[in-house]
Structure 1
Amino acid sequence: MIESAFPILEVSDLPRALEFYCDAFGAELVYRFPDAGEPVYVSLKAGSSSLGIGLAEDAAPGVPSNLLLWFYVDDVDRVARELTAAGATMLEEPVDQPWGERVAFVADPFGTRVRLATMPQAVASQPAAEE
């Protein structure tokens, strides 16, 4: 039985990826290997989620991966602007979807596709079910 899962990005420039995800998303570095020197693997905490990033020395810079990350954020427009200012490429501007979410699509500096979404107001504002 799976207890938890998290994505691992393989990138050609780990320090740059670490800076991007920590600065742009506010992720927190919780583990690095090795402890001293340049890391080859890091684990980040982003909200209640985890993200691993590993050095892939044979990865070509800027080559899109077949990994897609999805982040629910409090303000899609603001976060999309902040990410593009931090080096992301805007693939699709923020737009309201028929199902009620506002969604944008960016690529990080390594080509990883990232969807940003804000939950529909009706769902986000509902009180938690009482037991």
Structure 2
Amino acid sequence: MQVLSSRLLVRPGDVEKSTAFYRDVLGLAIYRTYPGGTVFFLGQGFLEVSGHGEGGGQPDGMAIWMQVRDLAAAVAELSAHGVSPDREPRLEPWGLREAWISDPDGLRIVLVEIPADHPLRTDVRSN
């Protein structure tokens, strides 16, 4: 199988409310729009909000992982938009700083800051 492109699809209960959340609250840039949907840039991928789903939560184990530069600043910015974290920022045992929020349908969004000394940011190549 040769994968040429991919994106995460979200089918919210209220497409306008969810589109506004991802666009206005999270500040995701729009890649493209079409009748009934919006595709957002999501780091190195895409998030498409379209159609109508049942709403009301996330599939078991499903979450959106978003790396941010400064977790405290991101949480403060979201707070200014009326978004309270489901779980306050904390340092996880695996060395990442994380906070959790939810979209309007309850889909978990994990906000992640990678500390400067974490292996994900450390050049481990031989000199």
- Which TM-score bucket, shorter chain as reference? 0.7 to 0.9
Is residue 48 of structure 1 aligned with residue 56 of structure 2? Answer: no
Q: Distance in 2 between matches of 1:87 and 1:16?
A: 14
Residue in 2 that maps onto 1:64: 57
Structure-2 change in CA distance of 1:12 and 1:51 (3 Å): same
Query: Cα offset for 1:28?
Result: 1.6
Q: TM-score, structure 2 length as denominator? A: 0.79
Q: Report the alpha carbon displacement of residue 128 of structure 1 after superposing the two structures with TM.
A: 8.9
Report if the CA contact (8 A) 2:86-2:101 is conserved: yes
Q: Can you give the 5+ residue segments of structure 2 that lack an aligned partner in the other structure?
A: none
Kindly state the Cα deviation for residue 15 of structure 1 after the two structures are TM-superposed.
2.0
Alignment deviations for residues 53-91 of structure 1 (CA, whole Å, 9 cap, x no partner): 1121x524xx11213100010111221232344354421
Gaps of 5+ in 1: 35-39
AA in 1 matched with 2:99? A
CA gap 1:45/1:88 in 2 versus in 1, 3 angstroms = same
CA distance in structure 2 between the partners assigned to 1:95 and 1:87 by the alignment: 20
* Count of paired positions: 123
TM-score of the superposed pair, with normalisation by structure 1: 0.77
Q: Is the 8 A contact 1:95 1:103 kept in 2?
A: yes
Contact 1:87-1:109 at 8 Å conserved across structures: no
1:28 matched to 2:2: no
Q: Calculate percent identity across the aligned residue pairs.
A: 24
Contact 1:89/1:108 (CA < 8 Å) preserved in 2?
no
Quote the offset at 1:47 in angstroms.
3.4
